[in-house]
């Protein structure tokens, strides 16, 4: 008898990619794989029921999950209502770094383990961070815009405009997790001196790579500051006017983490006043970026539309991580990336 699986993909991690990975992980186990495609990223995700980041509708998911035991998805929602209508569901795997499209408490109450894919995009985001860092350091945003407008400006060779090198620069990283640690290693290879502020990092993890300092010291010493912290009650808005004023004049600020970490109006003021020489952002307080945003006209800014974590390798990696959890489930083995392990208590 075969196990019924729903592969609910989108235009990034396609349903067929999930299906292929699940078949490989399942080995000889007979599978009946159904496919469903959501329209993300062509249509933005958003709230569905009580979950904050999902695609599609509850009704669509309820219909797709009829008779399904295992679901692998990226943005498909799992809400209280869906769980109540899908009693056959035994495992739900979301290929996000965290289960933001899942009502985890409800899943636990219904006895459904939820797996996710931590670290899936760490390499891609680290590489994109370095791309933006280098672009901001050399003024690529403004020079690119000028050339696209047909303007060739020789004054970008002026001392105050020609940018800085990473080699020999002091670069501060706020956060030293899977992404920040990768960024640090490349910066060291480029000749930078790396400072880190992360109250949770172990000293041995920094040995030979970076120097642990307070946030105030990092801001005051760094020529470039890059944010890599998670958003918590403690870190929300952690870089505001006071912190930007404490940075070296002419410093550069980079954020590929989360928009909620930073006061973007304060950044624009600092860019216009010359306190900051440049900035580079992949994340914003409101997405999509509003047409009237000051970031679109502020000097020295490089912008990308929240794509740091998107690469072809990420799609394959994320599908493989959740498919391996499906394989473990089918073999009766412990799950590695289960977000609600309490679901197994008393079982």
So what's the pLDDT on residue 347? Answer: 58
So what's the pLDDT on residue 346? Answer: 61
CA-CA distance, 72 to 66, in Å (whole number)? 14
Catalytic residues: 258, 287, 306
Confidence of residue 1 (pLDDT cuts 50, 70, 90): confident
Query: Of 76, 80, 81, 108, whose CA–CA distance to 93 is shortest?
Result: 76
- 115-145: pLDDT as tens digits: 999 999 999 999 999 999 999 999 999 999 9
Structure tokens at 193: 């001196």
Write out the E strands in the chain.
3-9, 31-37, 46-48, 51-54, 70-73, 91-94, 114-115, 170-174, 193-197, 210-212, 224-227, 251-255, 276-281, 301-303
Instruction: Enter the pTM of the model.
Output: 0.92
CA-CA distance, 158 to 62, in Å (whole number)? 62
Cite the residue boundaries of each domain of the chain with CATH code 3.40.50.720: 3-120+311-344, 122-303
- 81-102: pLDDT as tens digits: 999 999 999 999 999 999 999 9
CA-CA distance, 277 to 29, in Å (whole number)? 58
CATH number of 3-120+311-344: 3.40.50.720
Confidence of residue 334 (pLDDT cuts 50, 70, 90): very high
So what's the pLDDT on residue 160? Answer: 87
- Return all residues near 22 (Cβ < 8 A) that are at least 6 apart: 5, 7, 31, 33, 72, 323, 326, 327
Q: In the chain, what percentage of residues exceed pLDDT 70?
A: 99
So what's the pLDDT on residue 161? Answer: 87
CATH number of 122-303: 3.40.50.720
Of the ranges 67-76, 245-254, 284-293, which one carries the lowest mean pLDDT score?
284-293
């Amino acid at each position: 008898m075969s196990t019924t699986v729903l592969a609910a993909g989108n235009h990034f991690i396609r349903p067929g990619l999930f299906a292929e990975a699940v078949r490989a992980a399942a080995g000889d186990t007979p599978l009946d794989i159904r496919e469903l495609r959501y329209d993300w990223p062509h249509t933005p995700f958003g709230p569905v029921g009580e979950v904050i980041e999902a695609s599609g509708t509850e009704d669509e998911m309820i219909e797709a999950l009829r008779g399904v035991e295992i679901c692998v998805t990226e943005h498909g929602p799992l809400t209280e209502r869906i769980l109540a209508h899908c009693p056959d569901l035994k495992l739900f795997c979301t290929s996000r770094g965290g289960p933001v499209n899942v009502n985890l408490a409800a899943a636990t109450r219904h006895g459904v383990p939820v797996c996710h894919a931590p670290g899936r995009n760490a390499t891609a985001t680290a590489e994109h961070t370095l791309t933006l860092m280098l672009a901001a350091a050399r003024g690529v945003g403004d020079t690119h815009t000028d050339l696209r407008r047909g303007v060739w400006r020789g004054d970008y060779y002026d001392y105050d405009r020609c940018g800085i090198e990473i080699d020999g620069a002091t670069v501060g990283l706020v956060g030293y997790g899977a992404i920040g640690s990768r960024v640090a290693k490349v910066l060291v290879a480029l000749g930078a001196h790396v400072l880190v502020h992360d109250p949770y990092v172990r000293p041995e993890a920094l040995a030979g790579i970076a120097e642990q300092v307070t946030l105030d010291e990092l801001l005051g010493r760094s020529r470039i500051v890059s944010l890599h912290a998670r958003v918590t009650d403690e870190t929300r808005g952690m870089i505001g006017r006071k912190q930007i004023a404490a940075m070296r004049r002419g410093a550069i600020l980079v954020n590929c983490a989360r928009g909620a970490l930073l006061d973007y109006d304060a950044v624009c003021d600092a860019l216009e006043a010359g306190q900051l020489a440049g900035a580079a952002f992949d994340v914003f307080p409101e997405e999509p970026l509003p047409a009237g945003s000051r970031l679109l006209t502020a000097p020295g800014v490089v912008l990308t539309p929240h794509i740091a974590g998107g690469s072809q390798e990420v799609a394959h990696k994320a599908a493989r991580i959740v498919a391996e959890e499906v394989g473990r489930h089918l073999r009766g083995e412990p799950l590695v990336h289960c977000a609600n392990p309490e679901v197994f208590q008393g079982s």
